[in-house]
A and B are shown apart, each in its own frame.
Chain A
Amino acid sequence: MRRAALAAALGAVLAAAVVTGPAAGAKPGGTLRMVFVSDPPTLDPAHATDLTSSAVIRQVFDALLELDEKLVPAPALAERWTVSADARTYTFHLRRGVKFHTGREVRAADVKASFERAAKGKRPWVFEKLVGARDFIKGGAPEIAGVRVVDDATVELRLDRPFAPFLHLIAYDAASIVPREEADKRGAGFASHPVGTGAFRFVSWRRDDQVVLERFPEHFRGPAHLDRVVFRVIPAEATRYNEYVSGQLDVSDIPTGRCRAVQADARLKSEAAIWATLGTSALRFNVERAPFGDARVRKALAHAIDPSIIVERLLEGCVTPAQGIVPPVLAGWTPAAKRLPLDRERAKKLLAEAGFPGGRGLGPLAYHYNTSDINQRIAEALQAQLKEIGVTLELRRLDWAAHIKLVDDGSAGFFRQGWIADYPDPENFLTVLFHSRNVGAPGNTSRYKNPALDRLLDEADTMAPGPERVKRYQQAEQMILDDAVWVSLYHYASRGLVKAHVKGLERSAQSTAPEFLAPLRKVWLER
């Protein structure tokens, strides 16, 4: 009953959250005061790997395409595109007269230069589907053969093989278009003085303090409503909250453990915005490490874990328990997979079958997680839950850098590692995380190798979007869950605070609080 009430409340907040102010009647002017948890490491799209950097990059730069509110690829610098019958050649037609912040017009050659520059950056996987990209990245070719400048306003991209989510990659911020001469002139300094075509141009960046952007009046969509955007950098959660309630920030995040309190607060509840995002929190097993090579042990543990307790008691019901791997919020996705149900009797039976009756002979199992208050509490909850089937967990907490190293190199057997989608497609969850070619740091940290699964994923990755493709991924997802390689806990949700005078701030499933990876050109202030 209580859960139903909470679900209803969450639903109401979710519904309220997606409502954005209409553009009609938008008032120009004002400064939007936003906040980051940490300083962006870079403002160069070629080198960014984090949400904070992306939040600025998306305002300063444009890509050929962008994702709309529903995360569907839409025209940006490219006004239209065509796809060949074999789905391997994409031709993009650029808008005429689009200007960089320096005043120079964008040409198709900038697209080629930007892609080749970024392919040698920190996210080469965005470009690796292009013909000749791997050769170029390794230094074996002078250019990416699959990027051809047809004329000043047309660029053709050829793929090694069809790849359904390719347009999402083109809309990704790593594929932002940069003016080559500026990037060359500034070198590494481009990361501190970015120049793009975006609706806002860079003004200043005082490290660990604030990034300031201002409206670019000549943006191809017309000038943004806001005069300026200031991103403050405030690492302490309590300080961000105090700044917000003092009226010094227009948006922020809801502090950990205050989700229900904020929703019950007469003043704040109307400003609370909670929305589902494209991410799943999970526990993973490394199948190459004993005893997790034995599926019966993995299944026993999966059957003994109850995510609903974690969601209700530790996360205040502000996220939803996960059945599958792919979040239901993904557009075009129909959730069908079911995680192994809570069944402690079945868990005990499986343990006995594996040769560990009542957990005897299993010894304490190390559970690895990265330092955070909520991860600690979840670890303690898991410890208590697994105790009920005779399994003792030894908690191993490390900071993120140390944790990810153990996970990547296969030293951890049982560990926490969720996933937040790079782009909205099931391929980004299932192929990246479970295909045998991605073992280790590329994503498959379970080190799972299943030829039948690989075949299914390879097939789905190259199919045209539609129900048949979704069906393949659904089969793959169930296969993974049945084999208990991954135990889903919950799907992530963003928990933000937005002042009533902030209008037009989109909250898509890829947007997170407090960064709000939203196009700020649509935002205006009603004062």
Chain B
Amino acid sequence: MGLLRSVASRVVALVPVVLGVTVLVFALNAVALGDPARAAMGQRADPETLERLRRDYALDRPLPVQYGLWLGRLARGDLGESFREQRPVRDVIVERLPATARLALAATLISVVLGVGIGAVAAVRAGSALDHVLMGISVLGISTPVFWLGLMLMLVFAVKLAWLPVSGYGDGALGHLILPAVTLGALHTGTVARMTRSSLLEVVRQDFMATARAKGLPESVVLAKHALRNALIPVVTVIGIGLADLLVGAPLTETVFAWPGVGRLLVAAVLQRDLPVVMGAVLVFALVYVVGNLLVDLAYLVIDPRMRDAARA
């Protein structure tokens, strides 16, 4: 019961966070120069048509009224209509959401599997040449710009070797997902690897590890069952924070690989001043981020029985 209440209170606390984000984005859009009606008209705009579009989009209303209208629609589950595509924002986002979800999940999987693997090997071989090489690769992964890495991977694996498609979603085939997922995942793999290594090194010095070894357990079991599980708590935190990296990296990765996701949609909407789409996409990103972090908090309860007991109390 205590656990459920704890989760419920976390969920309620998310509402002001998400609303705060929407106020901020709306305000930023308001101070940004540009007129959505004009941006939709191409090089030549007829003044009367501009006026009509501004009326249709409610752009002639005061900003608080515009925000109030948006919020009112949101309460009814309506995200409004895209200025650019002239159809419901919900449809515009829902069409692109599966592509971004696939990419983000695949990238997370890659960063967790590779990151934890590299970090664990580096920790086991701490101080060795292998450790230095693996940590060097991790730093490289963290510091390499997504755009550049994507193009390099594309040149090698798609253009030169022709092992994978250059870009696009294809028909959802796995081959199309690999390069964008590796590119986006690389951003975070290094962070996970470094955190796993340092966390594991911290844990192996604990007394209970000596106890486990004294019981005569094989080293592999000591490491996997006792060390890694305890080392994972800070790693899970990093994975949660890494969601932000994924959201930041998604527009760039999607642009490089012509991946039809929400990130690209957001970039185009910002450039076109398509405010309803910007608000909708940011709302989705904010929700993904806060819900992702909530899941991370819940994961602590699974990994660490002490936290579970504390939550119950």
Taking Cβ atoms with an 8 Å cutoff, the residues of A that contact B are 38-39, 41-42, 47, 49-50, 122-125, 137-138, 188-189, 191-192, 206-210, 232-236, 238-239, 242-243, 245-246, 248, 398-402, 404-406, 408, 419-420, 422, 432, 440-443
Contact = CB atoms under 8 A, between A and B. Distances in A.
A236 B166 contact: no
Contacts of B256: 236, 238-239
A402 B264 contact: no
Contacts of A399: 34, 271
A138 B46 CA distance: 12
B273 A41 contact: no
Given A206-B169, A408-B45, A441-B45, A234 B40 contact: no
Nearest to A440: B47
B260 A236 contact: no
Contacts of B196: none
B36 to A, nearest CB: 8
Contacts of A248: 165-166
A239 B38 contact: no
B265 A242 contact: no
B268 A242 contact: no
A245 B159 contact: yes
B217 interface: no
Contacts of B46: 123-125, 441-442
Given A208-B264, A235-B264, A408-B45, A441 B39 contact: no
Nearest to B53: A122
A404 B272 CA distance: 11
B272 A401 contact: yes
A341 to B, nearest CB: 29
B33 A420 contact: no
Contacts of A238: 151, 256
A402 B168 contact: no
B71 interface: no
B96 interface: yes
B166 A207 contact: no
A184 B42 CA distance: 25
14 contacts: A122-B41, A208-B261, A208-B264, A239-B167, A246-B158, A246-B166, A401-B34, A401-B36, A401-B39, A401-B273, A422-B44, A441-B50, A442-B45, A442-B46
A189 B87 contact: yes
Contacts of A210: 168
Given A188-B87, A242-B159, A404-B38, A209 B271 contact: no
A404 B155 CA distance: 37
A511 B167 CA distance: 26
Top 10 nearest A-B pairs (CB, nearest first) are A49-B42, A401-B34, A402-B33, A208-B260, A441-B45, A401-B39, A209-B260, A234-B258, A402-B34, A401-B273
A208 B85 CA distance: 12
B228 interface: no
B35 A401 contact: yes
Contact of A38 (B45, B169, B268): B268
B84 interface: yes
Contacts of B84: 41
B120 interface: no
Nearest to A192: B87
A408 B33 contact: no
For the side of the interface on B, what is the size category? 35 or more
Interface in B253-268: 255-258, 260-261, 264-265, 268
B145 to A, nearest CB: 13
Contacts of B36: 401
A400 B36 CA distance: 11
B6 interface: no
Interface of B: 32-36, 38-50, 53, 84-87, 92, 95-96, 151, 154-155, 158-159, 162, 165-169, 255-258, 260-261, 264-265, 268, 271-273
Given A232-B168, A400-B271, A441-B50, A125 B44 contact: yes
A49 B169 contact: no
Given A42-B85, A42-B86, A442 B255 contact: no
A50 B42 contact: yes
Nearest to B35: A405
A157 to B, nearest CB: 20
B102 to A, nearest CB: 13
Given A235-B258, A400-B271, A402-B34, A122 B40 contact: yes
Contact of A405 (B33, B158, B162, B268): B33
A242 B258 contact: no
Nearest to B52: A120
Nearest to A419: B43
Given A208-B258, A440-B47, 20 more contacts: A41-B84, A41-B85, A122-B40, A189-B87, A191-B86, A191-B87, A208-B96, A208-B260, A208-B265, A209-B169, A210-B168, A232-B168, A239-B151, A239-B167, A242-B159, A248-B166, A400-B271, A401-B39, A441-B38, A442-B46
B96 A207 contact: yes
B44 A207 contact: no
A238 B150 CA distance: 11
A207 B261 CA distance: 9
Contacts of A239: 151, 154, 166-167, 256-258
Contacts of B158: 242, 246
Contact of B92 (A207, A234, A235, A402): A207
B166 A442 contact: no
A281 to B, nearest CB: 13
A246 B155 CA distance: 10
B304 to A, nearest CB: 42
A41 B159 CA distance: 30
